[in-house]
Chain A
Amino acid sequence: MLIELNGISKVYVRGTEEVHALRSVDLAIDDNEYVSLMGPSGSGKSTLMNILGCLDSPTEGTYRLNGTDVSRMNANELAEVRNSRVGFIFQTFNLLPRASALQNVELPLIYNGQRRKVRRARAIQALERVGLADRMTHRPAELSGGQCQRVAIARALANGPSLLLADEPTGNLDSSTGEEIMLLFDALHEEGNTVLLVTHDPVIALQAERLIRIHDGRIASDEQLA
């Protein structure tokens, strides 16, 4: 089992008010699954994604990633998990604007302590995988939205993560470019990657093999698609 959530709760204090973003969530995701996570805004899906991506820690419950309990890790340990086990893909791409495509992809490899030659080679490999071999020295401003998202995907792939975590990856793209990106995710899944898509677009969500709906901090439904 790649992901095992047991009784995960998350409580925020906003002003004097306690916000229960997640209420005792149990969830298991296996290697090489292709999962969509849907829910309206405020449902807790972003919180769940942050916890799955080790950006945030749960208030209660345990989270095992690849069999390791990551729910009680400190900031440094969580950084290592994010670096080597999780690949993030964001709606707004989140590329460093002054760095070239290659430098952006190299970033997680730098934090992984890879030597210059190794990380250059791996970054080039990742960019080739997403079809941007000819755009490596371009900066984000010189690339189209679709190309930016490909750079972001290459960056997520750079360290060979266990889990690709995509938050509305097509939200800022026109529909045909969005479709290309979705085809890329399909292909990455075919190659053995575990993919988790967070979206509120049913068309996108239905491309996955499994659909989880979340509502008011609880899992409302969990179904296998065709």
Chain B
Amino acid sequence: MTLLEPLFAGLGQLRAHKLRSLLTLLGIVIGVAAIIAVVSLGEGLRREVISQFIFSGGAGMIEVEPPRQWVRKDGRWVRRPWEEYLTEADMAAMQREIDGLHALVPEIHGSAALQRGKTTVDASYTGTSAAFNEGFNWPVLGGRPLNADDLRLARKVCLLGDDVYGNLFQGANPLGKEILLNGDRYVVVGVLDERVRFGRSDGNIVLVPYTTAQKRLRGEDHFSELTLFVEDLDAVERVVAAVRRVLRRHHEHGDEFRIETSQGEIDDANEVFRVLQQVGGGIAGISLLVGGIGIMNILLVSVAERTREIGIRKALGAKPRHILGQFLAESVVLSMVGGLLGILTGFGFGLGAAFVIQQLAPGAPFTSIVSAESVLWAVGFSSAVGIFFGVYPAFRAARLDPVEALRRT
């Protein structure tokens, strides 16, 4: 007897009891579909998020921020007795001492109340330099970037994000025009290209020279953060060490400054999605378990119904293992067919969900990616369920006494 014979017999049983098989399959179909849908949507989301990280500066991005002022001590939040900040001297030393830098972007953040004529817009400003456009790969669409004179003279000039530009100028030429930024007059020298990340526009922003932001907007001499970009991914570690050296030399608490790499963020995001997928997959796995119990139930019914058939087969010389194989094959066929239907359903469901979300929130980072891995998992898991829940009914069938079995009508 070949291996295929019981499989064909199993398919025959499926056909013989269409409605019953279909209902039994449903549990497996839903379970597998849920696994596929959850894993595919999670995978799509993960890739999208990762690609957004890359978009915003690439994997060779290193962010440096000053120490937090509030720290947790003995279960309470307390303010540190000291304050240290990123200064122009830090930036100059990094620029001078670190090789292989693609860009070093200083940033000072604050909120900006903008006005032109009677139109007002709430936005945020970033005090920075021309390195901003270079590092974040965010080109100037019209006009010019910030230049050395702007910085040296702390000029009151600005570049507008596309949202700000649209709200204040409604398509009119803004170059050389004046706007009010927090009540002071600034000349528009450029407009930024549009930028959408994670489904949201970053365009509600105004760039000003960092010197202007320090002297005129905040009255401080330090930066909110410094962001370093390296061309070579392998250089990230070396650059991080060099940054730390500079900070230690310049500051008493140089080790308290926070340094984050984009690789670290990508790793973090990957970890979050891995956990999400596992939890989602686990919940879906529970429905597969329920489906498996359904299979077991229907097989027990099938064994009871076909007791006479089992008796006949035994009278004709079927050994216990033949009967065992026959019912196991039925169980496996049932769960594998369910698994295949589930993959298709899950695939469709993932695409459908991604489509609906796209309709509801255009630009949302939702795609569905069916990985070979998730398909393998679903098929493997559903056959395992079939075997596991098929063993007991099959075993019962195999052990039936032929005389008893033949007596049954």
Give the contacting residue for B316; candidates A56, A83, A98; CB below 8 A. Answer: A83
Does the CB pair A111–B406 fall under 8 Å?
no
B318 interface contact, C-beta 8 A? yes
Does the CB pair B314–A113 fall under 8 Å?
no
8 nearest interchain CB pairs?
A83-B317, A111-B317, A79-B319, A108-B316, A94-B312, A55-B402, A82-B317, A56-B403
A155 interface contact, C-beta 8 A? yes
Shortest CB distance A114–B (Å):
9
B356 interface contact, C-beta 8 A? no
Give the contacting residue for B319; candidates A55, A76, A95, A107; CB below 8 A. Answer: A76
A9 interface contact, C-beta 8 A? no
Please give me the residue from chain B that is nearest to A78 by CB atom: B402
Q: Which residues of A contact B312 (CB under 8 A)?
A: 94-96
Q: A111-B1, A113-B1 known; A79 and B403 CB under 8 Å?
A: no
A162 interface contact, C-beta 8 A? no
Q: Residues 157-174 of chain A: 1 if any B CB is under 8 Å from the residue's CB, otherwise 0?
A: 001000000000000000
Give residues in B with beta carbon < 8 Å to A.
1, 5, 12, 16, 308-309, 311-322, 402-403, 406
Does the CB pair B309–A111 fall under 8 Å?
no
Give the contacting residue for A98; candidates B12, B319, B322, B402; CB below 8 A. Answer: B12
Shortest CB distance A39–B (Å):
17
A84 interface contact, C-beta 8 A? yes
Q: Which residues of B contact A53 (CB under 8 A)?
A: 315
Q: Which residues of A contact B319 (CB under 8 A)?
A: 75-76, 79-80, 111
A137 interface contact, C-beta 8 A? no
Task: Give A98 to B12 CA distance when docked, in angstroms.
Answer: 9
Task: Give A96 to B321 CA distance when docked, in angstroms.
Answer: 19
Shortest CB distance A178–B (Å):
22
Q: Residues 56-94 of chain A: 1 if any B CB is under 8 Å from the residue's CB, otherwise 0?
A: 100000000000000000011001101110001010001
24 pairs from A and B in contact (CB 8 Å cutoff)? A55-B315, A55-B402, A55-B403, A56-B402, A56-B403, A75-B319, A76-B319, A76-B321, A79-B314, A79-B317, A79-B318, A79-B320, A80-B317, A82-B316, A84-B317, A90-B406, A96-B309, A96-B312, A107-B316, A108-B316, A110-B1, A112-B317, A155-B316, A159-B317
Residues of chain A at interface, number, CB under 8 A: 25
Shortest CB distance B5–A (Å):
7
Task: Give A96 to B308 CA distance when docked, in angstroms.
Answer: 10
Give residues in A with beta carbon < 8 Å to B.
50, 53, 55-56, 75-76, 79-80, 82-84, 88, 90, 94-96, 98, 107-108, 110-113, 155, 159
Does the CB pair A75–B320 fall under 8 Å?
yes
Give the contacting residue for A88; candidates B315, B318, B320, B322; CB below 8 A. Answer: B315
Task: Give A148 to B16 CA distance when docked, in angstroms.
Answer: 21
Does the CB pair B317–A108 fall under 8 Å?
yes
Q: Which residues of A contact B16 (CB under 8 A)?
A: 98
Query: 15 additional contacts, CB 8 Å, given A80-B319, A110-B1?
Result: A50-B403, A55-B402, A55-B403, A56-B403, A76-B319, A79-B314, A79-B319, A82-B315, A94-B308, A110-B5, A111-B1, A111-B313, A111-B317, A111-B319, A111-B322
Task: Give A107 to B316 CA distance when docked, in angstroms.
Answer: 7
Please give me the residue from chain B that is nearest to A87 by CB atom: B316
Shortest CB distance B309–A (Å):
6
Task: Give A50 to B311 CA distance when docked, in angstroms.
Answer: 12
Q: Which residues of A contact B5 (CB under 8 A)?
A: 110
Does the CB pair B320–A76 fall under 8 Å?
yes
Shortest CB distance A152–B (Å):
10
Shortest CB distance A169–B (Å):
15
Q: Which residues of B contact A82 (CB under 8 A)?
A: 314-317
Shortest CB distance B231–A (Å):
67
Shortest CB distance A11–B (Å):
14
Does the CB pair B12–A107 fall under 8 Å?
no
Please give me the residue from chain B that is nearest to A76 by CB atom: B319
Please give me the residue from chain B that is nearest to A165 by CB atom: B315
Shortest CB distance A56–B (Å):
5
Q: Which residues of A contact B315 (CB under 8 A)?
A: 53, 55, 82, 88, 94
Please give me the residue from chain A that is nearest to B315 by CB atom: A88
Please give me the residue from chain A that is nearest to B320 by CB atom: A75
Task: Give A96 to B9 CA distance when docked, in angstroms.
Answer: 12
Q: Which residues of B contact A108 (CB under 8 A)?
A: 316-317
Please give me the residue from chain B that is nearest to A113 by CB atom: B1
Q: Which residues of B contact A50 (CB under 8 A)?
A: 403
Q: Which residues of A contact B1 (CB under 8 A)?
A: 110-111, 113
Task: Give A112 to B316 CA distance when docked, in angstroms.
Answer: 9
Does the CB pair A111–B316 fall under 8 Å?
yes
Please give me the residue from chain B that is nearest to A99 by CB atom: B12
Task: Give A96 to B1 CA distance when docked, in angstroms.
Answer: 18
Please give me the residue from chain B that is nearest to A159 by CB atom: B317
Task: Give A98 to B306 CA distance when docked, in angstroms.
Answer: 12
Shortest CB distance A139–B (Å):
12
Please give me the residue from chain B that is nearest to A115 by CB atom: B2
